[in-house]
Structure 1
Amino acid sequence: MLFQEKIESLLEALVSQGVSFHFPGSRPAGALFGLDQAYYPAESHSEHVEMIHLTNGQVAIQVNGAWFPLTVGQPQVFLMNTFHSEHFLDSERTYELFWLSLNPFMINLHTTGYSPDRGYGQSSLRRSLHPPRMEALWKCLKKPVLDRPRFMALLLECLDNCLKNPHAGSVDYHIAAVELVRRYLEDYYSRQIHLADLADMCHYSIGHLSAIFRKTVGVPVYEYLCRIRLTHAARLLRSGKHRIKDVATATGFTDQLYFSRRFSKQYGMAPSRYAERFGRKTKN
């Protein structure tokens, strides 16, 4: 199984060393002076949580603008909206970080690292894990105050399950990334969704994600999202319980005129006409 040894090593580290949590506004102990040429500009994520485990060498990690050395294998968790980046500690020494990206539906795995001859890079090999307890783990992460013991218990259970069932739910990573985006859009269509956030969840560039999504699904990401929103809008209109402008807002449309135009194109009639024909009396 791809990354099996790294998952086993991570499990051992979680049990023996625990985990260090970083959250918005936190400042790590033992901060270093500023470093230049980080592998990537500090980034934060509002739709997924990331964990790293140092598997080789030493590295400097930036958290919310402060750098600190990571020289042992204690796993680090970057909770949502926590800025982070990485940098070598010694330009003559290699390092490798094992990454877990936790989102509502799965855990995505990849590695980043540095070597003197190749510079910075990330693995082309990726893996997606689909443990049965993923939903419970995500709900734990979404709570306003993280229950750390429960998070640890659920994470250990998820990783252990993946080792015991290495082929369960195993799919090509490209397919898994597209499925992640589809499920996210179907569940969170009412939110304001940005392509950059979807790409971050998959650890793809916006262009690459857009290309594989369109190739797999047949339409661009935003067109797929619009169709989902229109389907739910039609359902609400059929109920006859909502004003048209409220239906537009509830399904993620910020422009009522655009909503009406797209709805008419999809269903062959204006939202008001659709509600009159297929639903009970609708408030105007």
Structure 2
Amino acid sequence: MRRVQKPGDIDIIPAGVDGSREDDADCRILRLSLYPSLLREVAEELGHDAGKTELLPRLQVRDTRLEAIGWAIKADLEADTPSDPLYVDLLANALAVRLIEIATAGSALAESHSGLQLSARQLRLVTEFIETNLDQKLHLADLAAVAGMSVTRFKALFRNSTGISVHQYVIRRRVEHARSLITTTAMTASQVALAAGFAHQSHMASTMRRLLGVTPGELARQAKEFRPILPRSA
């Protein structure tokens, strides 16, 4: 097969399929690999028979959702700041879900997650786990286990319950925790960053600027200006 490759073209190659390619000119290709076990797990979570869900070779696929996930992964790989494992987990799960949908020709799922939410107890357990482990690397599978459900189901129900993705929720909680530490303690910026679960001080600063519109240094100065001066005892 000889073809003209265009930006946005996607090839889906199942594991174990033989083949080779040769490019006529220099090009850059984003190659993403998923464990077959992840695809089987996601297929079962979506209500499909994993043994009968076959991923077929497809060349030059055009799919806006796959392309969007690919661009997000590319941006993450090229970012100066290492991403939160939770974000990578979400992208991998989203990629697997879309591949299963393509493999099953968009057939109806056994169970729709539309409108379903976590119970009050499940949401409390998950949010408490997040708060307790903000300084640790959080993984989607761990949070789903706390809620007692599959990763794919948890991801959807958490968004339905909070209005945002679990990754966005965790990032916001990290920022709020960092802001509290900056304004109420004498910890250094690097200490605050580690305590709030950021990779380093610069990571915390860029995230706080994006979400709050201020830097850690500006927050510290504001807190110092508004901190009351207590009268000395006679």
Q: TM-score interval w.r.t. the shorter chain?
A: 0.3 to 0.5
Q: Which has the higher helix share?
A: 2
| TM-score, structure 1 normalization | 0.36
Q: Which has the higher strand share?
A: 1
